[in-house]
Amino acid sequence: METYKLTVNGQPKEVAVDPGTPLLWVLREELKMTGTKYGCGIAACGACTVHVAGIATRSCVVPVSLVGDRPVVTIEGIGQDPVGRAVQDAWVSEDVVQCGYCQSGQIMGAVALLKSTPKPTDTNIEESMGGNICRCGTYVRIRQAIKSASQQLKSGGAS
Amino acid sequence: MTAATNFTNDLLSRRSFLRVSATAAGGLIVSLYLDLPLAAQEGGQAKPKAYPPDAFVHIKPDGKIVIQVNRLEFGQGVHTSLPMILADEMDADWAQVLAELAPAADVYKDPVFGIQMVGGSGSIAHSFQQYRELGAKTRAMLVAAAAEQWKVTTNQCRTEASVVHGPGGRSAKYADLADEAAHMPVPETVPLKNAADFRLVGKKIRRLDSRPKCNGSLKFGLDLDLPGMKVVLVAHPPTFGASPRSVDDKAARSIPGVADIFEIPTVSKGTAVAVVADKFWTAKQARDRLRIDWDLSRVERADNSQLREKYKELAGTPGNVAVARGDEKALAGIAASNRIVAEYEFPYLAHSPMEPLNTTVRYDGDRAEVWAGSQFQTVDQMAIAEILGLKPDQITFHTEMAGGGFGRRATPDSHVQREAAAIAKRFTGTPVKLVWTREDDVQGGYYRPMHVHRVEIGMGADGMPSAWRHVIVGQSIVAGTPFASFIIKNGVDATAVEGTADTHYDIPNFHVSAHHPTVNVPVLWWRSVGHTHNAFVMETLIDELATRAKMDPIAYRRKLLKPDAKKLHGTLDLMEEQSAAWRTKLPAGHAVGFSCHESFGTGVACAVDVSIENKRPKIHRVTVAVALGLAVNPLTIESQFQAGVAFGVSQLMAKGAITLKDGYVEQSNFDAYTPPYIIDAPAAVDVHIVPSTEKPSGCGEPPVPVISPAVVNALSRLTGKRYRTLPLVTV
Amino acid sequence: MPLPGYIGPVLSASHAFGCDRDAGKALNSPGFKIVGYCLRQARNANRKRFTMCSHRAMLRLFFTILVACAGWSVTPLLASGQSVSRKETATPATREAGLVAWQQVYSVLTHPRCINCHTATNYPQQGDDRHRHVVNVVRGPGGKGVPGLNCTTCHQGANADNTGVPGGHDWHLAPLSMKWQDLNDKILSSAEICRSLIDRSKNHNLDGSGLLKHHEEEPLVLWAFQPGRRRDGTPRSLPQLTHDEFVAATRTWVEAGTPCPQNP
């Protein structure tokens, strides 16, 4: 057991866990933030995606010991960010979700994409979202929602 | 306050009872009782049972209207569309409507299937009338309450957005009428709206569950956290039905947080090892440290290469007869040059819903509480009761939102729930959450069965098939389950031949038979079930025949379809029209592929634009036409089809097979059994609905069967090759 | 840095003995009497090695002897504190030693731990079979993936042995100019990679000493020699040389004037 100080969604948190515990399980079981999902445990589906120092990160494979002092943002906190909020709104208005289980990760990926690429092409979307599985298959609407969020942000709708 | 009546549902002709009551906290609760002719009740007097928590509608004093959904929501959209149906007839203010997933109870059983379930794309098909009548009766009572207050006739009142309007500009909110309404007699019959009067049905209505699914606040079954809860992982035998010879759990037990490790029986008559811990990661670490010597000597060790040989051999012999139409000898009279012999192979497929399987059980001695994202609530409830030595009504069964399912959460043997119950029984008073990891799920069986099809076709002078002999080999999904008695006929599992035996193509001499070998691999329905392979075989062969006949593939299908296959004719016409613009100017290197198929009462036709990129099919565009009667929520239908065709691409993925070697499943996670990613899925899907006011049919499964044959038909145009083995390892 | 230091690690490592069981069998077969060079097996006694142990032992002995002999001839050059220079100062003897050393360097560069991120394609590879990286990982404009799917989306600053994901500082792909494979994932020849490596228009303008420093210090080069464990808990396979040996070989090659084999 080791004690780790984390910053999650701007809040300081302290957990005492085995150093090898993946960030995913620290979030879900220690901090009770279950919006970040367990899908595969091997970074093959993206359901566990959070932002670590702004980088979309597969929390299921990152031991808490390697997080360091980098701030963590989860689906519960991404709405505080204008891009995050725009993406969530676009997801709702485009009626993207079906079962919804993968969508936390999809949204976190889309936010990372839009923050660096405000006007993504289809190729940008395919590459950036390329590692997130939606088993329901909502990909067409994911594309639409990313484009609509991009449009919304461009027009200052989510400033 | 209770009043009861009964009404006849055109789908049911079974006795149903409606109960209305005022709640202690105020408001109106409408409950529906169904007395289903289940074995237990047959011969007995059909009396309503006491169902305390079974309200369908609850009008709260604050105006909120809570509508219970009698089925699992796992993506398909019933959590929105069923409340829409009820709210429409009730003239409820949609902005005030909330949906809740109903717990397990008789009253929530599927009106047709007689168990509480999601399956067979039947949610809307079976509950449309039920939810309409519930809504209409609730409305009628609210109107009656207003009319009494105002001393007017009900005919003088109209309703809109949760308000009753009366003569002289009087109006009253539903919430304010609720207590009075609860005293009103329940009408025997109520008029239902004409389609033209629908305010919600037929409109594109967004989902009610989007926001919480987009901000992380929605709790799925796996997210459940109860005080004192334990998390359990189970080490299952590597080969189905095996047991440990010895278990060394010293290292596992030494991990802090491990509560206990013990053996439990599996449904497949083997033994597994349960690891109970404070948290998931603890349980995972401990399970990884178990040293188990598995005894595989007494179990059949299924092996793909052997199964393949065996199946191919069986396919060469006639099986149990599913269809025998016309002259069986007709084929022999056709010249070899006018015959096609085709052999198809399909692998085992795992459903792999995104939310790994899980169930939480708390056993309290004389009762128990269960939380599960189940497609089979009442079946699972009974199984848990059996394990715990309780009666089903001693089990409070909460339906949890589920992250996908595709059939995987509809297990006739309730194997996950039985496991969870067996473990919980040792921890009285402690909630126990059983989690199947992704690896457990991929390796844990309950697959779409492996199949071999052998088809011999003889063509007439007109290029149309005049004789067709079709042998299907694959495990029966329902053999050995309570479903066997009504699904297996003449030794043929209807779910194995659906899509072929009941084809709408008019083939004069048509013979379909099936073999159902027994294999030590548990199998299950996988979204669209037998249509997954049957549609592939039928639609690729029809395309091949059209090519040989040098006919347009759409025209060929139209010619071969029976005239009364109205839904398919309608979709072919609509698809042809809607895809014409892009089909006629395809870029070089692209080809179009078609298919049409009817499943679960819904007709679908599609056209796909495909090229080959990086040695894989790239699906640029899909145009889908669908005929499913009245479109209750066109937005749901559009979404289901857009995403459902992407799900269907699973069958084509290079790593889209579960294979067994010497009894071991060779894949364990998404790196080796890979569902479609965004680049594999169609880049654009436009969905067109054939207008209709007829009874609605489902849209959950029908998108799946059409896509893979259409893509492969396009590939065949590009490469000249025929693709008869899935998954599509090479193009 | 005094010259004997470069031989030191190579020879001093030779005190370690032993291979794993399978490799041991191979060593006992005729013609493979030299067991002393399967050194890493002893160092990581519980790690399993699968192949190449005996082959590696042979190569390493041959190399060590040659380097040990050839090395003396360049001693004055380095001992005098001059930076290593190109072939104008190399004698025929050092060129021969340099080419031998280069083959050793080449064996490391083309090991999956190194070459998997020196692809010519739009994607990295993984595994000893050098399969295309799963999960549709792409190179991205800077060789670091794309936003949403960066290398560091999974690969952290150190190996995550608990989850089987390797890591090192600033995980990324080598630039396309440093590709050591062709577009069909076929490994380029020794001569091709050598010429590419010393081409300052392709190698971030590194001279010999720069290359040596890169091999000595670059975190991702160091990672290749401490690649951590796979998801199933087994150790990832290692290049044929230890890091010290790799550096020594690079130094020899650099001191020999970075000679490259003739075509092909």
Read out DSSP for B268-286?
TS-EEEEEEESSHHHHHHH
| Contact residues, C window 140-169, toward A, CB-based 8 Å cutoff | 140, 146-150, 152-154, 156-158, 160-165, 167
**Where are the domain boundaries for CATH 3.30.365.10 in chain B?**
3-214, 221-298+357-435, 316-349+447-719
CA A134 to CA A105: how far, in whole Å?
Answer: 10
| Helix B566-583 × helix B553-560 angle, to 10° | 170
C261 found inside a domain: no
| Contact residues, B window 595-654, toward A, CB-based 8 Å cutoff | 635, 639-640, 642-647, 649
CA A12 to CA A71: how far, in whole Å?
Answer: 9
C63 found inside a domain: yes
How many angstroms separate the CA of residue A97 from the nearest CA in chain C? 19
Can you list the residues of chain A whose pLDDT is less than 50? 158-159
C263 found inside a domain: no
A129–C149 CB contact, under 8 Å? yes
Chain A CB contacts of B404 below 8 Å: 98-99, 101, 135-136
pLDDT digits (tens, 9 = 90+) for B198-236: 999 999 999 999 999 999 999 999 999 999 999 999 999
Read off the tokens for B123.
């949610």
Q: What pLDDT score was predicted for residue C66?
A: 44
C190 found inside a domain: yes
C260 found inside a domain: no
- Strand ranges of the sheet holding B271-277, from the earlier edge strand across to the other edge: B258-265, B271-277, B230-235, B432-435, B358-363, B368-372, B395-399
3-state helix, strand, coil in chain C (%, to 5): 45, 5, 50
Q: What pLDDT score was predicted for residue B23?
A: 58
Domain tally, chain C: 1
Chain A CB contacts of C164 below 8 Å: 42, 61
B677–C134 CB contact, under 8 Å? no
pLDDT digits (tens, 9 = 90+) for B113-136: 999 999 999 999 999 999 999 999
Q: What average pLDDT does this structure show over B682-696?
A: 97
C136–B677 CB contact, under 8 Å? yes
What is the set of domains in chain A, with CATH numbers?
2-73 (3.10.20.30), 79-154 (1.10.150.120)
Q: What pLDDT score was predicted for residue B27?
A: 65
The CATH T-level fold of domain B316-349+447-719 is Aldehyde Oxidoreductase; domain 4 (3.30.365)
pLDDT band at B428 (very low <50, low <70, confident <90, very high): very high
Q: What average pLDDT does this structure show over B383-402?
A: 97
B210–A96 CB contact, under 8 Å? yes
Q: Is residue B51 scored above 70 in pLDDT?
A: no
pLDDT band at B55 (very low <50, low <70, confident <90, very high): confident
Q: What pLDDT score was predicted for residue C263?
A: 75
C195 found inside a domain: yes
How many angstroms separate the CA of residue B291 from the nearest CA in chain C? 14
Selected from 3.30.365.10, 3.40.1390.10, 1.10.150.120, 3.40.50.720, the CATH number assigned to the domain covering B221-298+357-435 reads 3.30.365.10
Q: What pLDDT score was predicted for residue B20?
A: 62
Residues of C in CB contact (< 8 Å) with B are 134-136, 233
Q: What average pLDDT does this structure show over B151-164?
A: 97
* Strand B509-515, strand B320-325: pairing: antiparallel
**Which of B70, B135, B66, B64 has the alpha carbon at shortest distance from B102?**
B70
At residue B116, the 3 state secondary structure works out as coil
Helices (H), B276-370: 280-288, 304-315
C162–A41 CB contact, under 8 Å? no
Q: What pLDDT score was predicted for residue B21?
A: 62
* Strand A49-52, strand A55-58: pairing: antiparallel
Which stretch of DSSP H or E encloses residue B633? Answer: none
Chain A CB contacts of B219 below 8 Å: 34
Which one-letter amino acid corresponds to residue B219?
K
Q: Is residue B252 scored above 70 in pLDDT?
A: yes
pLDDT digits (tens, 9 = 90+) for B523-560: 999 999 999 999 999 999 999 999 999 999 999 999 99
Can you list the residues of chain C whose pLDDT is less than 50? 1-54, 57-59, 61-88
- Per the model's pLDDT, the better-predicted residue between C60 and B153 turns out to be B153
**Which of B612, B627, B617, B626 has the alpha carbon at shortest distance from B649?**
B617
Strand residue runs (E) in B492-576 = 492-493, 509-515
- Give the one of B288, B671, B679 whose C-beta lies nearest to C134's C-beta: B671
C203 found inside a domain: yes
The CATH T-level fold of domain B3-214 is Aldehyde Oxidoreductase; domain 4 (3.30.365)
Q: Is residue B719 scored above 70 in pLDDT?
A: yes
Q: What average pLDDT does this structure show over B620-627?
A: 98
- Give the one of C146, C162, C231 whose C-beta lies nearest to A63's C-beta: C162
Q: What pLDDT score was predicted for residue B49?
A: 37
